[in-house]
Amino acid sequence: MFKPFFVDCSGKKHIFPDDCALKRSLALAWRRGEDVFCFKYRLKSSYTCGHSYQLNTIQQTCDDFVVCFGFESPLGKESYCF
């Protein structure tokens, strides 16, 4: 079964059981000051079609984080936020 992952700036692959776990780890890396916008992401959700995504925005709310990923193809742009 496919598991979501991200590849950090040093090339290390970090694998997670689901997209929410990836989001939590991404938020921790962002808090540590890592350049999370240079990471490469692959999300698990079935409607993401297995594309590699780029992190577009990360926003802190009063009790959580909202992350938005994007993918661009010749057919148009696709985004996924959670």
The average pLDDT across 70-76 equals 86
Give the sign of the dihedral formed by CA 16, CA 21, CA 26, CA 32.
Answer: negative
Using 50, 70 and 90 to split pLDDT, how confident is the model at 7? very high
pLDDT tens, residue by residue, 28-58? 999 999 999 999 998 886 555 667 889 999 9
Summary mean pLDDT of the chain: 87
Q: What pLDDT, on the 0 to 100 scale, is given for residue 3?
A: 86
* CB 58 within 8 Å of CB 33: no
CA angle 26, 51, 47 (to 5 degrees): 90
Q: What pLDDT, on the 0 to 100 scale, is given for residue 14?
A: 94
Q: What pLDDT, on the 0 to 100 scale, is given for residue 22?
A: 92
Q: What pLDDT, on the 0 to 100 scale, is given for residue 50?
A: 66
Single pTM value for the model: 0.82
